[in-house]
Structure 1
Amino acid sequence: MHSLLPFLLAMIAAIVLLNMWANKLKIAYPILLVVAGLLISFIPGLPMVRINPDLIFFIFLPPLLFEASWTISFKEMKKWWRIIGSFAFLVVFFTALSVAVVAHHFIPGFTLALGFLLGGIVSPPDAVSTGAITKFVKIPNSTSAVLEGESLLNDASSLIIFRFALVAVGTGQFIWQDVALSFVWMVLGGAGIGLALAWIFVETHKRLPLDAQSNITLTLIEPYFLYWVAEQVHCSGVLAVVTGGLYMSARRLVFLNSASRIQGFSVWESFVYILNGIVFLIIGLELPEIVEGLHTQGIPLRTAIGHGVLITGVLIAARMISSYTAMLATLIFRPSVLPRARSNRMRWLMPLLLGWTGMRGVVSLAAALAIPITLDNGVAFPQRNHILFVTFVVILLTLLVQGLTLPAFITRTKLYDGVLDEESEALTRQKMKRGLKQHVYEFLKSKYENELNGHVGMEKFLKQWEERAKATDDSWMNKKTKVIFVEVLEIQRQYLTELNKDPTIDEEIIRQQLYQIDLEEERLKII
């Protein structure tokens, strides 16, 4: 333990330093973390990093999925649900099938079941990698919503494939009727358990006298509880966490106060940042042990690398085919929802971009490491190290090749020039703030007209409240005005919640304004 603790602390310090370096170089930090982990693994004397396969999902996935479900725009998900659903389920199944067929025919020793197992592992693109890469280039909200929504749901579909493939490898049989029933139960049961438990959590937060620290602590354990309960009844723990997270996210204004929301944002951002960093470092640190396992199986390293390159090519090709198929289907059946583009040429370049965003990462690694070392009868799991190595090659190649070229592809093709309307976004913000001011003014005039007349402090409050955050003199803020001020802030939240129902307004703008209101409420507490 005494030798491992300094190593873990050094890992966290390395994550921070590498992230700083990545920001300076303007490349995605997962790329540097994977390469650094690989280089660090060759340093002699370092402790071997091993994680119990039974715990890998439970340690990393619940909080990562829960945080993602809180940050995504549910309104945008509903708007683009067709393409998100097709990429999260149909494309994942098509990709897994393609990998299974190719692996079965071209990789010696791979049965169709092992091929599906590998397909389930490598089929889901990684949201963290995509988000880290695209933060250096501006992309439309519609594209971001599709990528985020897809990554949130495709983890569930890919891990369902992974689970059924594990059963098929272990038992040697695949009964379609049982699989279909199990699939329905996993999906419906997982979503149902997630919603039911999330409702209980929301009511618990509302009814108990919890402070900010207690609220945040509960949110840290709730995703683990959602995942564990669903898995105990053989449902999809991933779907339980996702649906529960979406339900709680939509009600954050109801059961969390401003202090909990502000502090929780920082806590969760740091927590997920560390988890992601550790996972990407582990990807590199695990490689020497995986290579050693290949040698024990008599598989040449060059051959295994070739298999990894082959599977990577299949993944890219399957995603490209799926992207253009979705484009054609939309063009034929729903042309009104086609993405904006300056020309037909640019419109047909957009699926190429969507196809090129299939970087793999956290979920693929977690699934590969979760493969049991032995089967139920004690026999070594077939091709385990081979699958782990291929997964590593896929993650490394997609991060390096696609990850490093994606920003340049967007910039040089000028794909979104004329599509991104920053002026329109600024006008939306101005319109929203004008609406807020008018709404507050009408509220104050209708409810506090008597108090406003002849009261210098209240008149100043009415005329200049939009400048209150910049005010240096708070002497006018007495007990009465503070009560009204808090009420005004709540009125603003209600107004913004209603405004968010407008499909033309970006939800991220609404959330940023709500965050400003939370900050203002916290400022009042120290006046």
Structure 2
Amino acid sequence: MIEHQLIVSILLIVAICLLLMVSHRIKVAYPVMLVLGGIALSFVPGMPRLRIHPDVIFLVFLPPILYEAAAANSWKELWHWRRIIGSFAFIVVFITALVVGYIANTFIPGFSVALGFLIGGIVSPPDAVSAAAIMKFVKVPRRVSAILEGESLFNDASSLIIVKFALIAIGTGQFVWHQAAASFVWMVIGGAGVGVLLSYVIIKLYKWLPMDENIDTMFSIISPYLMYICAETVEASGVLSVVSGGLYFSYRRILIIGFSSRLRAENVWNFLIFLLNGLAFLFIGLDLPEIMAGLKADGVNLWTATAYGLLITGALVIIRMGAAFSAVFVTRFMSKFITVADSRSQGMAGPLVLGWTGMRGVVSLAAALAIPLYIPGTQTPFPERSMMLYITFVVITLTLVFQGLTLPVLLKWVKFPNYDDHLPPEETERIIRIGMAQASLDFLQRNNKCADVKRSALLNSLVTHWNEQLESEGLATLYDDELRKNYHNILNEQRLWLNKLNNENERVDEEIVRHFIHRIDLEEECLLKE
């Protein structure tokens, strides 16, 4: 039995690799290819029927995926676009759940208001992995990707909170607003607090205890699981705990994590997220036979269920498009009373793309699978469970395939204005090169290391380059341990200056800053091997 499961697991990984190679070849976003590939594999004769336990996704898949997304995100961009990100991550998700709930209650027989609200909460959060994968093929303005990435960090939490309240209402037959409000506040504040607190403790451990690259990497992998479990234990939001902890750690990691650990962890995390995302999207397609079997057992007509899925999908697309364009007019109106990120009229390209990037993904599937077989506390079968699972599957598949395949075409068709959010890349790089050179020279003068410069042809050459405000190309050997240490200190001084520049200048694109920090890490890694 174990050998059979191992063989199936290996074959699934091979299938993921093949599907990804095909997606790169035909330039289709890999989530689309993996879902379609999973559906095709599910009908292969002899393919074992997949039963995905929701805890596997919530506990095994979700924490590291969210943590990595938070760590890769820019706190500066999040804060700059905080209002629109917060609106889409919380207000739009709540409105979507309400509207979908009303539609389900009105048009789908057997759906009460609570059941409608439940399916609304399940399908309300867009999946950022899909949008990010698609936007790799087409260049989009930084503000659009920043808003999408920021929204994705928090909308999962808000939708799962809605699902929890809907399940309580169905189980108890009532909904107490003041209790729900208090619970919501605790889930948000408690979840964020647990994540930041644990991240703070982990940072202190880095400072107090000696660690190497392997321990650092293991701590980075364990951290999201600890944050999620601890938050869920105190009935707070595990998702918000992971996101807030990841953001806090990302903001501080340059100051506490060594260059070698960052490089090692980056490679490990790239592989881990690649595997988890691949399995998650493949599982969506592979779960189709199990979902259809549930429909058949309940005597539900497949075409009728598909029509309901199309109805909900269409409603989701319209709601998000309406929210994206409404955000423009709300921003212009509110700019008369408060300071907004950008009150200028910038055309409709941004809202159009933002509205069309509403692909649903693995979180929606996990939330649907988490619906219990029986109403909590009773032996009564949970009403319309198989219908909700199938509607969720239709929503995920249609939004991924239809919107996922048409989004690249849309991105090539629309003409984005010059938002002028950041300095041009060439100007940013020029500022960084000059600043790094000045920081290096200031370090040498501040620490009276000028005499050491004359003892090393390399340092002397580098100082010449810095004085000319040019970037160093290549690295020679530093034979003297003291000179090697000085050069380590200079590289660290450059990193600190880059971190300061990023925090103080909002027009500097953080992606470029991180690119330069990565290059310094690689340079220091080469120095270590000398």
Deviation (angstroms), 1:438: 2.2
Which one of the candidate residues 470, 473, 488 is aligned to 2:474? Answer: 470
TM-score for the superposition, normalised by structure 1: 0.95
Q: Contact 2:188–2:236 at 8 Å: present in 1 too?
A: yes
More displaced, 84-93 or 186-195?
186-195
Residue in structure 2 matched with residue 493 of structure 1 by the alignment? 495
Deviation (angstroms), 1:167: 1.1
Q: Contact 1:124–1:154 at 8 Å: present in 2 too?
A: yes
Alignment of 1:226-265 (within 5 A): 226-265=227-266
Deviation (angstroms), 1:478: 2.0
Between the aligned partners of 1:456 and 1:54, the Cα distance in structure 2 is 59
Between the aligned partners of 1:303 and 1:382, the Cα distance in structure 2 is 17
Deviation (angstroms), 1:77: 0.4
Taking only aligned residues, the RMSD between alpha carbons, in angstroms, comes to: 2.0
Between the aligned partners of 1:446 and 1:254, the Cα distance in structure 2 is 20
Deviation (angstroms), 1:468: 5.3
SS of residue in 2 equivalent to 1:508 = helix
Residue in structure 2 matched with residue 266 of structure 1 by the alignment? 267
Deviation (angstroms), 1:370: 1.6
Q: Which runs of 5+ in 2 are unaligned?
A: none
Residue in structure 1 matched with residue 433 of structure 2 by the alignment? 433
Residue in structure 2 matched with residue 452 of structure 1 by the alignment? 453
More displaced, 140-149 or 13-22?
13-22
Residue in structure 1 matched with residue 179 of structure 2 by the alignment? 178
Residues 413-465 of structure 1, C-alpha deviations (whole Å, 9 max, x = no match): 2x226558999212211221122112212322343123335764542342247
Between the aligned partners of 2:484 and 2:99, the Cα distance in structure 1 is 63
Residue in structure 2 matched with residue 209 of structure 1 by the alignment? 210
SS of residue in 1 equivalent to 2:347 = helix
Q: Contact 1:304–1:389 at 8 Å: present in 2 too?
A: yes
Q: Which runs of 5+ in 1 are unaligned?
A: none
CA 239–482 in structure 1, closer or farther in 2 if over 3 Å, else same: same
Residue in structure 1 matched with residue 358 of structure 2 by the alignment? 358
CA 422–138 in structure 1, closer or farther in 2 if over 3 Å, else same: farther
More displaced, 86-95 or 40-49?
40-49
Deviation (angstroms), 1:209: 1.2
The answer to whether 1:521 aligns with 2:490 is: no
The answer to whether 1:128 aligns with 2:129 is: yes
Q: Contact 1:101–1:115 at 8 Å: present in 2 too?
A: yes
Deviation (angstroms), 1:254: 2.6
SS of residue in 2 equivalent to 1:347 = coil
SS of residue in 1 equivalent to 2:333 = helix
Deviation (angstroms), 1:218: 1.5
More displaced, 430-439 or 267-276?
430-439
More displaced, 154-163 or 46-55?
46-55
CA 18–453 in structure 1, closer or farther in 2 if over 3 Å, else same: same
The answer to whether 1:35 aligns with 2:39 is: no
SS of residue in 2 equivalent to 1:293 = helix
| AA in 1 matched with 2:525 | E
* Number of equivalenced pairs: 521
| AA in 1 matched with 2:389 | L
Between the aligned partners of 2:455 and 2:16, the Cα distance in structure 1 is 59
Residues 43-90 of structure 1, C-alpha deviations (whole Å, 9 max, x = no match): 111222112234431121111111110011110000010100110110
Alignment of 1:372-391 (within 5 A): 372-376=372-376, 377-391=378-392
More displaced, 348-357 or 191-200?
348-357
CA 401–458 in structure 1, closer or farther in 2 if over 3 Å, else same: closer
Q: Contact 2:347–2:417 at 8 Å: present in 1 too?
A: no
Q: Contact 1:457–1:477 at 8 Å: present in 2 too?
A: no
Between the aligned partners of 2:105 and 2:421, the Cα distance in structure 1 is 48
The answer to whether 1:85 aligns with 2:86 is: yes
Deviation (angstroms), 1:298: 1.3
CA 183–428 in structure 1, closer or farther in 2 if over 3 Å, else same: same
Counting aligned pairs with the same residue, the percent is: 46
Residue in structure 2 matched with residue 68 of structure 1 by the alignment? 69
SS of residue in 1 equivalent to 2:100 = helix
SS of residue in 1 equivalent to 2:424 = helix
SS of residue in 2 equivalent to 1:372 = coil
Q: Contact 2:127–2:361 at 8 Å: present in 1 too?
A: yes
| AA in 2 matched with 1:493 | R
Alignment of 1:89-488 (within 5 A): 89-334=90-335, 347-376=347-376, 377-413=378-414, 415-416=415-416, 418=418, 424-447=424-447, 448-453=449-454, 456-464=457-465, 470-471=474-475, 473-474=476-477, 476-488=478-490
Between the aligned partners of 1:77 and 1:458, the Cα distance in structure 2 is 39
Between the aligned partners of 1:467 and 1:491, the Cα distance in structure 2 is 15
SS of residue in 1 equivalent to 2:375 = coil
CA 458–288 in structure 1, closer or farther in 2 if over 3 Å, else same: closer
Deviation (angstroms), 1:333: 2.0
| AA in 2 matched with 1:498 | K
| AA in 2 matched with 1:409 | L
Between the aligned partners of 1:174 and 1:503, the Cα distance in structure 2 is 44
Residues 490-521 of structure 1, C-alpha deviations (whole Å, 9 max, x = no match): 11011111100200001111111111111111
Between the aligned partners of 2:43 and 2:294, the Cα distance in structure 1 is 16
Between the aligned partners of 1:29 and 1:16, the Cα distance in structure 2 is 10
SS of residue in 2 equivalent to 1:317 = helix
Deviation (angstroms), 1:481: 1.4
Between the aligned partners of 2:217 and 2:521, the Cα distance in structure 1 is 16
CA 385–338 in structure 1, closer or farther in 2 if over 3 Å, else same: same
CA 436–170 in structure 1, closer or farther in 2 if over 3 Å, else same: same
Which one of the candidate residues 507, 510, 513 is aligned to 1:507? Answer: 510
SS of residue in 1 equivalent to 2:3 = coil
